[in-house]
Amino acid sequence: MREQLNDNPIAQVAVVLVLVAVAAFMFLKPGGGGESGSSEATVAIGGTEMSQSEVASKAGEVVEGAVESAIEGGALAGATAGAEMPTSVPAPPPPHAFTAAYESGKTVVLLVVHDGGIDDRLTAAAATVLTVMPEVALIPVTVKQLPRYAAVTVGLDLNRVPALVVMKPKRLSGGTPQASVDYGFQTPQTLVQAVRDASYKGPEATYHPE
């Protein structure tokens, strides 16, 4: 019982409130004047008169029993559980055009741009080189549209634009979507190279200088 009280702040508050009520009763003297001797006041509870000392001796037992019943009945546990907040909110699925392109095995390229930016405008113009590559699906995305692609970008910690997000083809990702991100102005050459890097399948050479 004591462990449950220690772990449950709502139960602790309930105990404190009851104890305060008992203490108030104990220390309030009966009015009406008369003798100021050591006689105790009495109170009728359920038809039975009890003195202050008897109430004090029973207070702890009554409080503990009431709180234990509430815990076992699930009332306090339900209140605590109801106050818990979800730890995360799942992102909505990407738009159908993105999902269909990825499922078809293409290299999906998200070009995230900001309206009016010079680098954004030049990069968008350079990205037209990708439209003639049949294995590539180019999807321009404005900053306002970016929340629709949160399922893709949240893991990349995308923090500025223009941004080039290149998805590795599904057949090469081992069943787990993988993507890379590059920031800033892009030329047609760097765009094509990013797509080639994402779709590359083969050994990787490592250079070790002597």
Lowest-pLDDT range, 3-7, 132-136, 150-154, 157-161? 3-7
Closest CA to 102 of 167, 30, 150: 167
β-strand pairing of 179-183 with 163-167: antiparallel
Both tokens assigned to 61? 């037992």
Question: Cβ distance 138 to 131 under 8 Å?
Answer: yes
Mean of the pLDDT values across residues 39-43?
A: 55
**Where are the strands (E) in 64-133, listed by range?**
107-113
3-state SS class at 92: coil
Question: Cβ distance 139 to 111 under 8 Å?
Answer: yes
The pLDDT tens digits for 50-83 are: 665 665 555 556 555 655 555 555 544 444 454 5
pTM over 0.85: no
Whether the pLDDT of residue 110 is over 80: the answer is yes
For helices 9-27 and 75-83, angle between their N-to-C axes, nearest 10 degrees: 120
Closest CA to 186 of 133, 109, 116, 102: 109
Q: What is the per-residue pLDDT for 149? A: 93
